[in-house]
Structure 1
Amino acid sequence: MSKNWIPPVRHRPAMDASVPVVVLATGHVGHGIARSLGRLGVRLYGVHADPRSPAGRSRFWHERLTWNLMEEDEAESVAWLLQLAERIGTRPVLIPTGDISALFVADHALDLEESFLMPPQTAGLSRALSNKRQMYVLCKQYSVPTAETRFPASRGDVENFAAEATYPLMLKGIDTETLRRRTGVGMVIVDDAASLLARYDELETPGVPNLMIQEYIPGGAEEVWMLNGYFDHHSDLRFSLTGKKMRQYPAYTGLTSLGVCVWNDAVTRQTVEFMKRIEYRGVLDIGYKHDVRTGEYKLLDVNPRVGTTFRLFVDSAGMDVVRALYLDLTGQRVWRGRPCEGRKWVVENFDIISSLRYWRDGNLGFRDWLSSLKGLREASWFARDDLAPFAMMSLRSVEWAFENLRKS
């Protein structure tokens, strides 16, 4: 066990839940936060871009609000949030979730910090970690293992590289969210020069280079490691757990659809050292891939925010990164338990789709699928004490399926 591991508490101490929380909620993260803190009695205000968002149906929201950061002017969004804090009547904790809301909060921290409680992040650091090119520079600067990467400025650069490259390779978005919104994918695997050039032509944004070519590290989801942690205002680790992806959506290269908690001391040490050196503060979701050729854990992605899989990482005392954030920002002790080895978490709708793909490819049989669900402790959408998000997700999934059938 790492020297960073704090002895667990025997009994969860009483906590003060009087400070409210504003969540800039997206996807299957918002209602997870609502459940995590709402079950402790915290008053939660959920800000959703879509009034029909399944996450917005959680019974743990004290109030559901609609505001779209992507569509509204940034100055107006800041003013709206300040007005919300004033109406709440106290200084609430502010929790962004997706990339857009996290970077919005980071960019406007000086305007927001007097009205909201949030980690005192170094200016520009969240953007540097979220940008694949800047993250790669930081890894090289601080000698953190990472996949070798090229950042072509033109098709000519790709042509020159393609002739000499070793395949397969990964073609990824520097700004993954922008690429995914425009094309529907965040990354693809290419097996030869022709495929590389064809997919580059298909995915690149004309005049605004947003693609990078990355070394392919062999191995499937079993070699992908994740860490969720919380770092205080001294950049000291207050809570962390590690785990692995078992299945992904989209299959092979996407988000975690089924994950398992497994402690990894090397990943923890490497992350703690890196975050301390760059003086990172707040919630962290970080991903590595173990390179069996070198034995290194190569950093792939850094999300300076609450990750989509954060409820996978819950210890024996019920601690997760959101609870750690809340306790620390409200001046309370961050109590901790022991890692729940083998704890599994699933995103139901995503995992059904990805499992079918693995099955069609001959990589998942029925018995293997059934066995993979042993140890499942929590689902993203279904919860006995909060059924509405699951019901709305199911409805939206049926609508999505019919829409795709109509288009085909």
Structure 2
Amino acid sequence: MSHDTPVVVLDLSATGIGIVRSLAKEGIQVNAYDTKGKYEIGKTRHASCGICPNPVDEESALLEFLIQTAGKYRKKAVLFAGSDDYVYFISKNRYILANYYQFLLPEHDLVKAVLDKRLTYDLAVNSNVSCPKTFAIQDEKHLEQIINQITFPCILKPVFSSHFRTRIDHRLYKKAIVVEQAAQLRNEYHFYRPFGELLIQEDIPGHENCIYSVKTFFDDKMNLIGVWMNQKLHQFPPRFGSSALALSIRDEEVIQMALSFLQKIQFKGLAITEFKRDPRDGQLKFIEINPRIGLTQALSIACGVNLAYLYYLSLTGQNPKPVTRQKEGIKWVYLVRDFLSFRQKRKNGEMTFPAWLKSLSGKKVEALFAWDDPLPFIRSFVSHLRNLWRRS
């Protein structure tokens, strides 16, 4: 295989670092960029790292930055996005960026649909995919009109998750808010509405280990080039957060549901499709699609389906052989987040220290730690603990 085409990764979170390491170990030249704060924590010795403008607030500056950066390479670099904000930026500016970089995304309307939770729900309903009952709230008057149709507890969540994650207030750095009764819903809606559009969704019961993520790569002709999946074990924050501990497993029902859905909507490129098994009826309920590589990329490598590398080979015209089988029973842990998740669960009486230690047993890979590149892990650990101290 030829590895002389360079790579540019936009993101230096654990997701971006997973992409960087999985390609650098193949001998590929990797360049990684992110905004100042994330760069300072995530910069890695496996890539040439730098600071870039923010994809949300400095879109024109980032576009100019990438055009200038492209001039450094003899070949059009393969472009990776490690966050939804970077995906949306690339998709929106695809016709300009395609002159300088190689990347593969679905049509822009489809990218917008999976990033807008209201439109994602419509996609699922129109594709006959079971999903939680959802209400898009227009304003307080509309909330009052439908409040008697809502079953409690329910979930209040942003239409665009990134709108909350960009806020400094820790109350906004969350994927969903659990609401127990109508009065609380009114109060929570009043507080959160100024920061972005909101929707209300049925709360699917069950523990975090009822959640499954299917990772896929379909090429430009919708040929399946790679697929693997994991079960979530812990999330941070607990219940509604990102993965903190995950397990590589294969469940054909989950995989076939994801593949069928993606093929029906013609979702080419990289994707993460998430479902939760409803303990009330045993049925899988669709949660979301993310149009990129996921946080658990290190597990992708460990279980034998390196989606980042398959994507690179495909875009550089090397026609990789599809990889659709995976190693099972390997755990992935984002240790600092898993510890903070345990800490919160112990406070709520939901987990003991011995039970947490037992959950970490077995063969596993760490999200950030690497003996030959320890600093991203150390800086991330310190940053998380510092943020915890500030919030407390």
Q: Tell me, yes or no, whether TM beats 0.5.
A: yes
Q: Which residue of 2 aligns with 1:6?
A: none
The answer to whether 1:143 aligns with 2:132 is no
Aligned residue for 1:241, secondary structure, equals strand
After superposition, give the CA deviation of every residue in 1:129-177 in whole Å (9 maximum; x if it has no partner). Answer: 1110111111111111111101111112222333343211111111111
Q: In 1, distance between residues paired with 2:159 and 2:115?
A: 9
1:259 Cα deviation from its structure 2 partner = 0.7
The answer to whether 1:204 aligns with 2:171 is no
Higher mean displacement: 69-78 or 189-198: 69-78
Contact 1:327–1:334 under 8 Å retained in 2: no
Q: Which residue of 2 aligns with 1:79?
A: 64
Q: Which residue of 2 aligns with 1:357?
A: 344
Q: Which residue of 1 aligns with 2:221?
A: 234
Q: Which residue of 1 aligns with 2:26?
A: 40
After superposition, give the CA deviation of every residue in 1:236-278 in whole Å (9 maximum; x if it has no partner). Answer: 2211111111111111111111111111111111111111121
1:400 Cα deviation from its structure 2 partner = 2.9
Residue 145 to residue 314, structure 1, CA distance change in 2 (3 Å): farther
Residue 71 to residue 262, structure 1, CA distance change in 2 (3 Å): closer
The answer to whether 1:260 aligns with 2:260 is no
- The amino acid of 1:236's aligned partner reads N
- The amino acid of 1:31's aligned partner reads I
Aligned residue for 1:299, secondary structure, equals strand
- The amino acid of 1:202's aligned partner reads F
Identity percentage of aligned residues? 27
The answer to whether 1:243 aligns with 2:233 is no
1:398 Cα deviation from its structure 2 partner = 4.5
- The amino acid of 2:43's aligned partner reads R
Q: In 2, distance between residues paired with 1:377 and 1:175?
A: 32
- The amino acid of 2:185's aligned partner reads L
**Aligned pairs for 1:137-216 within 5 A:** 137-182=122-167, 183-205=172-194, 210-216=197-203
Residue 335 to residue 272, structure 1, CA distance change in 2 (3 Å): closer
Contact 2:225–2:324 under 8 Å retained in 1: no
Contact 2:249–2:328 under 8 Å retained in 1: yes
- The amino acid of 1:50's aligned partner reads K
Contact 2:105–2:270 under 8 Å retained in 1: no
Q: Which residue of 2 aligns with 1:279?
A: 266
The answer to whether 1:28 aligns with 2:14 is yes
Contact 1:234–1:279 under 8 Å retained in 2: no
Residue 288 to residue 381, structure 1, CA distance change in 2 (3 Å): same
After superposition, give the CA deviation of every residue in 1:150-205 in whole Å (9 maximum; x if it has no partner). Answer: 11111122223333432111111111110333422221111111111111111112
Q: In 2, distance between residues paired with 1:395 and 1:20?
A: 32
- The amino acid of 2:189's aligned partner reads Y
1:310 Cα deviation from its structure 2 partner = 2.6
Residue 184 to residue 116, structure 1, CA distance change in 2 (3 Å): same
1:71 Cα deviation from its structure 2 partner = 6.2
**Aligned pairs for 1:80-119 within 5 A:** 80-119=65-104
1:57 Cα deviation from its structure 2 partner = 2.6
The answer to whether 1:223 aligns with 2:220 is no
Q: 4+ residue runs of structure 1 moved beyond 4 angstroms? A: none
Q: Which residue of 2 aligns with 1:8?
A: none
TM-score (normalised: structure 2): 0.93
Q: In 2, distance between residues paired with 1:350 and 1:340?
A: 25
Higher mean displacement: 184-193 or 337-346: 337-346
Q: In 2, distance between residues paired with 1:32 and 1:270?
A: 26
- The amino acid of 1:28's aligned partner reads A
**Aligned pairs for 1:318-397 within 5 A:** 318-332=304-318, 333-334=320-321, 336=323, 338-397=325-384
Q: In 1, distance between residues paired with 2:142 and 2:57?
A: 37
1:311 Cα deviation from its structure 2 partner = 2.4
Contact 1:31–1:55 under 8 Å retained in 2: no
**Equivalences, count:** 387
- The amino acid of 1:137's aligned partner reads D
1:23 Cα deviation from its structure 2 partner = 0.4
Contact 2:132–2:202 under 8 Å retained in 1: yes
Q: In 2, distance between residues paired with 1:44 and 1:123?
A: 26
Aligned residue for 1:383, secondary structure, equals coil
Structure 1 unpaired stretches of 5+: 1-14
Contact 1:236–1:276 under 8 Å retained in 2: no
Q: Which residue of 2 aligns with 1:3?
A: none
Q: In 2, distance between residues paired with 1:220 and 1:54?
A: 35
Q: In 2, distance between residues paired with 1:219 and 1:377?
A: 25
Q: In 2, distance between residues paired with 1:192 and 1:395?
A: 38
Structure 2 unpaired stretches of 5+: none
Contact 1:315–1:337 under 8 Å retained in 2: no
Aligned residue for 2:370, secondary structure, equals coil
TM-score (normalised: structure 1): 0.89
